[in-house]
Each structure stands twice: as structure tokens, then as C-alpha cells.
Amino acid sequence: MNKKNFVFALSTLVLVACGGNEENTETVENTEDVVVEEVCSYSYNPDETVFTWTAFKLTDKVGVNGTFNEINVVANNGAADKFEVLSGASFSIPVGSLDSQDEVRDPKIKNSFFGVMTETTEITGKVTSIDANGGKVEITMNGVTHAYEGEVKVDEDEITFLTTIDILDFEAQASIDSLGVVCEEKHTGPDGVNKLWSDVEIAVKTTLDKSCE
């Protein structure tokens, strides 16, 4: 080998040894976004609660609708689950807040129906359980407590509870008879029968306040 070829071969060896063809080993950082789960809590809002009742008169069972303009609720505010806010909640409804959309009828119901009962100032109760499949409440009226199951409807943060109570469950036949006397004209149909049904449909709709972080 002549001197010129020897120098070329040595130069090539040095280039290979110094990694002239070394692959790029740069580390690629993981740039995947981290998802932070939103944490929310729920609270009861008395301004977003509507209580309605439907009683029935006449043999043809004609509905009479009304409400109570005041319902006081002690709920589990700040709960992580919307149903937890209402489960175990207690309530009281002042009888004086009754509103049947009839100024003549209202005092008759207050005085001749509730006025005949014992402990007439308010209706009290408790939500013993509630979830998307249904609920159960205990209602105390005329000194008697009775439990009712009902249907639950959910629309986002709005919860509606539906049930039907029977006034006779509260030993209140005297109240039905008393109201039938003062409302005889309105409760008597073409068949001449003075009729006030004992079953009353109830609907309570409330929209919970939702706070998320």
C-alpha cells in the first residue's frame, strides 16, 4: 500500500469510530393533555321549588288545583350527589299559605277542612329516600304520620316527585264532611250527590343549585 492509500484508509476508520453515521436518539416528550375532572356539589334552593296539589269533587271527579305558597325545607346542602341533597330532608308547610286560586274557597279550606284537624297550623314530613327510580316520604297531618311511595322525574338539575295521598289515612273524614257542608253548592253535581274525594294528587318540583370547581 502506498502512502496516499494508507492515509485515506486511516481517515475513513477515524470517521466511523467517531460515529459519523450515528442515529438520532433524541427523546420525544409526552405532550398528552391531562384531563382534570370537574367536582360539583348541589344545594336546595327554596326559590326554585313549586308544590302543587289536585283534589277532586263531584261524582265525575273534577279536579281542583292549588298550591302552598310556603314550604320550609331543611336539606343536605353541599352534597356531591343531587339526590343526597333531598334524602333525609325534613319539611313543614304552613296551612295558612294555601292557595287554590279562589279567594272565596281558600278560607273555607283553611277553616272548615284543616281547622277541624288537630295540630292544624302546618303539615310536616320527611323524605326518607329518593333516587332516579322513585322516592318515599312520611307525611304528618291531623296528628297522624303515614308513608307514601312516589314517582321521581329528573331533568338535569330539576327533580320532580309525584305521589297520591288519601285523606282517610290521616283519620280526617270529619274534615271532608265539614268542607262538604260549607262547599255544598260547588260539590254537588247534576246527579244531586255532594262529593269530595279523599285522594289528593301531589307534585313537588325543585331545581337544585349546582356549583362546580
pLDDT digits (tens, 9 = 90+) for 130-140: 999 999 999 99
* Cβ neighbours of residue 149 closer than 8 Å, sequence gap 6 or more: 134, 135, 136, 163
Ranges of the chain with pLDDT below 50 = 2-18, 20
Q: What is the rounded radius of gyration, in angstroms, for the C-alpha atoms of the chain?
A: 36
Residue 170: how many CB atoms within 10 A of its CB?
20
Confidence (pLDDT) at 28 = 53
Three-state DSSP state, 118 = coil
Task: Give which of 111, 105, 106 is closest to 178, Cα–Cα.
Answer: 111
C-alpha cell at 58: 263531584
pLDDT of residue 119: 81
